[in-house]
Structure 1
Amino acid sequence: MQESMRHILEENRELRREIDKKLSETHHASRQQMNQTIRTVQGITGQSAKLIGDVTEKLAKLDETNRQVINFSAQLQNLQDILKNPKQRGVLGEYFLEETLKNVLPPNAYKMQYGFKDGVIVDAAIFLQNKIIPIDSKFSLENYERILNSRDNEEREKWEKMFKQDLKNRIDETSKYIRPEENTMDFAFMFIPSEAIYYDLLINKVGAAQINTRDLIEYAFRDKKVIIVSPTSFFAYLQTVLQGLRALKIEESAKQIRNNVEKLGKHVAAYDEYLKKIGGSLGTTVNHFNNAHKEFEKIDKDVARITEGERVIEPLVLEKPQELA
């Protein structure tokens, strides 16, 4: 009986050890699984936080972009408002003209708002030696835009005629600044701030509409001595003017050098004449000296005859200075 009890107790102890072992293994596995789950959750949380941060940053950038777009739209609207107002559009054209001049020519080579004797003012004038090149800024836009937006052929022809008449009027206005009696050149520049309008004038087309503007360009140059330019073509003309100004400076420097050489030649000639006069004076002095010495020799001879002695004075004759060539 006791043996049976010991056997049962031993089996219980063995079973308890086995259970404890299993519980320990299960607890260890559960802890590892829990730690892994925690690490996984932490990783997911970190990625989520980073993703949220990235999304927040991109939303902030998008918000800034939206504000910039809104600001740009407002500026564009302001520009459109300016272009709708003829007076403000004229100010904008003059600004483009001044910036173009400022970027190429020295400040003393041009003047904005140049006034003639009768009080008429041209937008700008270039000074080339003693001549003036008048420049007028023109911006005929209303009928140009109407041609672009028109879908009816008959209406487009009406706007086309008005647009050409606008340009012709601007050409006539610019030609009034050609005043040779006030030292202007026999031509003037008509500055069109819009490259699009200038290009359309050259190719005889406004948008998709064919329009004959070649006769206007010929009318401007041949009849009115007006050269139509855009910012790009005007820049090329200004480069030529700049080279002319540099050539004038070189010519002015050469004139100054030539004048200085002429003055130096006159001074050398005067100095040569003065030296000749000094040489002549020295020659006269030498003659007087030699004559005086000869007279002194005569006295010496008289003394020698009276004393029956020898002459004590040796003849001394100075040579005259040679004449300068």
Structure 2
Amino acid sequence: MNDVVLLLGSYPLTWGRLVIGMAASSLFLLTIVTLLLMRTRRERAFEAAVSAERAREMDDKVAELTRIQAEMTGRMQTIAEVFGTRQSDFVRLISERIDGLQHRVGQGLEATTRHQTENLSRLHERLAVIDAAQKNLKDLTGEIVGLKDVLSNKQSRGAYGQGRMEAIIRDGLPSGAFEFQPTLSNRMRPDCLVRLPGDERGLVVDAKFPLEGFTQFREAKGEEARSRAAAKVRSDMLVHVKDIAEKYLIPGETQDIAMMFVPAESIYADLSEHFDDVVQKAHRARVVIVSPSLLALAIQVMQALVRDARIREEAHIIQVEVQKLLEDVERLDGRVAKLDAHFRQAQDDVAQIRISTDKIVKRGQKIETLEFDEGEAGARAELLRLQGRSLRAVE
């Protein structure tokens, strides 16, 4: 056992030491194997526990999933029922909406049809009006042609101007404020004489107007022809202005001015634009040239003057009536004062009567409070009875 088997450097290795070393090695290996087995067993037990825990958790999760599935199934059934109910309500609502829409569409179509029918009837009426207007236009065209023929004739033109002037004056003034074709003191007869309130002198309105020169002036071609026509217009106008001033301006009988009526606004515009010198000379001759609109304006002013004069005339009558009314009011006031005095006297009399009755009542109460013998009381009652009164009546 002590024999050397192997030298390890300077250290001799014997069989005993070798056996001890091998035994120690075997024990070490056995210990290691044991430890490894115990570790393996612990790991397997841990894995088994982990597996069991995982299985338990899996079972819990499956149970939870089963519960959730059952809840989802119930909720799905509830949702299906609610959806079915809502679907029926939705279908009913859609049906009602469709019915309402159809009703509104039907009403809209009916209203549109009625509106279109009304528009067509109005269109027919307007077409009838247009036809009537066309007819009137044709008639007016014929009247214009006839008016042209009238204006081409001097006498007809004078009658036309006279008629238009008379229409304007008749529309604006009362019948007593004007006179057509009167005879003046110099035996001249103006077309119209307007009498203003508060003035005996009349305002002369002449309706005769020289139109030939204006016609030539408008139809003139070239400067020379236009100049000749303008000269004729000036000559005719000044002659007519002179005739009016000499014939119709009579001191003390007519106004200081006279009016020359132009029957057309266009003629008056041409006269004011191209013949201002004629207008100024007419003004200096105290002759005012007026168009239909200016004559209507002047007539309105005269109408206001006539109305004011009538108001002043009626104002005196109103003042007299107001004075009489004031006198009646004064008499009524005196009578009311007398009646009030009577009422006051009556109130005083009633107050005196109330005082007397109060005194009588108080004395009756005092008499009631007095004590009488039975005989005296009976005698007093008999006396009151004989006199036709009672104690209560006295009270």
Classify the TM-score, shorter chain.
0.5 to 0.7
Asked whether 1:78 is paired with 2:146, we answer yes
Q: Within 5 Å, which residues of 2 pair with 1:162-311?
A: 162-204=232-274, 213-222=275-284, 224-255=285-316
Distance 1:77 1:237 in 2: 31
Q: Within 5 Å, which residues of 2 pair with 1:144-159?
A: 144-159=214-229
Return the offset for 1:249: 1.6
Partner residue in 1 for 2:203: 133
Query: Helix, strand or coil: the match of 2:181?
Result: strand
Return the offset for 1:195: 0.6
Return the offset for 1:61: 11
Partner residue in 1 for 2:95: none
Query: Helix, strand or coil: the match of 2:187?
Result: coil
Q: Identify if the C-alpha distance between structure 1 residues 142 and 182 changes in structure 2 by more than 3 Å, giving closer, same or farther.
A: same
Distance 1:261 1:76 in 2: 58
Paired residue total:
196
Return the offset for 1:120: 1.0
Distance 1:61 1:230 in 2: 33
Return the offset for 1:257: 6.1
Partner residue in 2 for 1:123: 191
Distance 2:246 2:323 in 1: 44
Q: What are the ranges of 5 or more consecutive residues in structure 2 without an aligned counterpart? A: 1-127, 325-395
Partner residue in 2 for 1:57: none
Return the offset for 1:117: 2.2
- Are the equivalent residues in 1 in contact too, given 2:257–2:288 (CA < 8 A)? yes
Query: Helix, strand or coil: the match of 1:185?
Result: strand
Q: Identify if the C-alpha distance between structure 1 residues 66 and 178 changes in structure 2 by more than 3 Å, giving closer, same or farther.
A: closer
Q: Identify if the C-alpha distance between structure 1 residues 158 and 247 changes in structure 2 by more than 3 Å, giving closer, same or farther.
A: same
**AA aligned opposite 2:307:** R
**AA aligned opposite 1:253:** E
* TM-score (structure 1 length as normaliser): 0.54
Query: Helix, strand or coil: the match of 1:111?
Result: strand
Alpha-carbon RMSD across the aligned residues, in angstroms, is: 3.2
- Are the equivalent residues in 1 in contact too, given 2:188–2:248 (CA < 8 A)? no
**AA aligned opposite 1:85:** N
Q: Select the residue among 157, 167, 187 that pairs with 1:89.
A: 157
Distance 1:218 1:69 in 2: 40
Distance 1:69 1:262 in 2: 62
Q: Identify if the C-alpha distance between structure 1 residues 62 and 104 changes in structure 2 by more than 3 Å, giving closer, same or farther.
A: closer
Q: Identify if the C-alpha distance between structure 1 residues 214 and 63 changes in structure 2 by more than 3 Å, giving closer, same or farther.
A: closer
Partner residue in 2 for 1:105: 173
**AA aligned opposite 2:215:** E
Deviation readout 1:28-54 (Å, 9 max, x if unpaired) = xxxxxxxxxxxxxxxxxxxxxxxxxxx
- Are the equivalent residues in 2 in contact too, given 1:134–1:177 (CA < 8 A)? no
Larger of the two Rg values belongs to structure: 2
Return the offset for 1:124: 0.5
Query: Greater share of helix residues, 1 or 2?
Result: 2
- Are the equivalent residues in 2 in contact too, given 1:135–1:190 (CA < 8 A)? yes
Query: Helix, strand or coil: the match of 1:188?
Result: strand
**AA aligned opposite 1:167:** M
Q: What are the ranges of 5 or more consecutive residues in structure 1 without an aligned counterpart? A: 1-59, 205-212, 264-325
Distance 2:134 2:269 in 1: 34
**AA aligned opposite 1:171:** V
**AA aligned opposite 2:182:** Y
- Are the equivalent residues in 2 in contact too, given 1:178–1:186 (CA < 8 A)? no
Query: Helix, strand or coil: the match of 2:254?
Result: coil
Distance 1:65 1:185 in 2: 46
Return the offset for 1:139: 2.5
- Are the equivalent residues in 1 in contact too, given 2:195–2:203 (CA < 8 A)? yes
